[in-house]
Amino acid sequence: MNSPRPRIVIVGGGFAGANLTRLLQRRAKFADITLVSEESYTTFNPMLAEVVGATVFPEHVVAPLRATVGNARFIMGTVGSVDFREKRLQCDTLKGNVELQYDHLVLAFGNRARIDLIAGMVEHAVVLKTVGDAMHIRNVVLRRLAQIELESDPALRKCLGHFVVVGGGFSGVEVAGAIADSLREIRRYYPRVAVDELKVTLLQSVDRLLVELPPSLGRAAERSLVKRGVEVMTMTGASAITARDVQLNDGRVISAATTICTIGTTPNALTARLQPLEMERGRIACRPDLSVAGADGVWAVGDCALIRNGGQGLAPPTAQFAIAEARHLAKNLVARCRGRATRPFNYTARGMMATVGHLKGVARIFGVRLSGLPAWMLWRAYYLSQMPTFGRKVRIFVEWSWGMFFPPDITHFRFTRSHELLDSDKAGVMPGPRRSAA
């Protein structure tokens, strides 16, 4: 009599969860695969800065999960609780509560942006973690320019045109460059806004940008940003944020109406409900083979997992490592289900890359350092290669090629529904945010 196929449930549709599902579903006869995700798409987070700068459309940085998981079952829902003894989990779905049984459970649900690291950050700053965040920041930029055109106070006009980015890591550098390039390109549509009324400032609390890369590439990124008009302030952090200024840790105050924070993450709320799993630094502690101690048949990958990368220290929470972890776990799951030994995770990074604005980037690939246009093209080529389906790759390549030669889009998306328009008509006011955008 044939034994039943193992049931593998994957929680989280990010880089790790989506890639793991695709790899396992190719072995459709090997197991029943179910992917549970609170979103119906995977977000390519490193590309969010390009959405902010309006050099790509939001649909270019997401991949629909249903189009990529093949024969695997997909459930859009949020996991409420997990019973590790009975090997079942409860999901809140469009239907209501759904119970799933598993033989192997993979936790790959990522983390959240932390929004309370700085005084006033919750009330007056915006963060960049999701497509919604990127769209919101893009709209803020467009609204600020529209506000400047209507404002007569010179000091307030400069305050409205000043954008401060906190954090000089990959996200901070990329979004600062994207906003600077976007402002330069779209100012032509706002003839009442002067060049000297627009400014981007990048704050970095240590002595250089992009500490994950060699110092020479950090300096190259800084030079590129400064050339684009970005003021880079190293050894400088923000201690408080208000609606109209940012207080620095050395006591200075800079006037700015928009502050974007790219620092800090916090565990997903599900993490706290995963007792008795061992946690370390707010993440799920993994064994060398990516299994989790304290629960049979449980594994973890991606940003929610604390993974030791052989003798190279902890695996960083990057897209490259999430994909590598997914590939390794796929092999280990097959081995475990077939009674073979699993292997410890050990991955050597191919390199790291970042964009610093349109057509500019920095990269270290297999020890080779690149900057400028070659690095930018390599960065785009890598993420295009990770996009699922050939048709989607072609569509995005065509759109990207178009964007290399034409200015960014300046459409302000409000997604106002008809009943909101009717309500605003009755009240005699403009629908949606009118004053403070942050």
Residue 410 lies in a domain: no
Whether 241 is in a domain gets the answer yes
Residue 436 has pLDDT above 60, yes or no: no
* Residue 425 confidence (pLDDT): 74
Query: What's the per-residue H, E or C state across 15-60?
Result: HHHHHHHHHHHCCCCCCEEEEEECCCEEECHHHHHHHHCCCCCHHH
Which residues constitute the domain of residue 130?
A: 121-263
**pLDDT (average), residues 213-238:** 93
Q: At 1, is the pLDDT very low, low, confident or very high (cuts 50, 70, 90)?
A: very low
What CATH number does the domain containing 253 carry? 3.50.50.60
**Same domain for 150 and 200?**
yes
Tell me, yes or no, whether 202 lies in a domain.
Answer: yes
Same structural domain, 136 and 234:
yes
Q: Is residue 94 part of a domain?
A: yes
The reply to whether 247 and 127 lie within a common domain is yes
Specify whether the CB–CB gap between 59 and 82 falls below 8 A: no
Model's pTM, two decimal places?
0.89
Q: What value does the mean pLDDT take over residues 68-94?
A: 94
CATH number, domain of 64, equals: 3.50.50.100
Regarding whether 129 and 256 lie in a shared domain, the answer is: yes
| Domain stop point among 349, 370, 399 | 349
Burial 357-378 (b: 16+ CB within 10 A, else e): bbebbbbbeeeeebbeeebbee
**Domain final residue, candidates 349, 379, 404:** 349
pLDDT of amino acid 366: 85
Mean pLDDT, residues 142-154 taken together: 96
Q: Same structural domain for residues 70 and 127?
A: no
Name the range with the highest mean pLDDT among 26-40, 140-154, 372-386.
140-154
- The total domain count for the chain is 2
Let me know whether 195 and 323 are in one domain.
Answer: no
**169 phi, psi to nearest 5 deg:** -85, -160
Could you tell me if 127 and 225 lie in one domain?
Answer: yes
Residue 367 placed within a domain: no
The pair of structure tokens assigned to 381 is 């080529």
For 107-138, the pLDDT digits (tens) are 999 999 999 999 999 999 999 999 999 999 99
In the predicted structure, residue 212 carries a pLDDT above the cut 50: yes
Q: Are residues 236 and 274 in the same domain?
A: no
Q: Which of 349, 369, 388 is the last residue of a domain?
A: 349
- Average of per-residue pLDDT across 417-438: 65
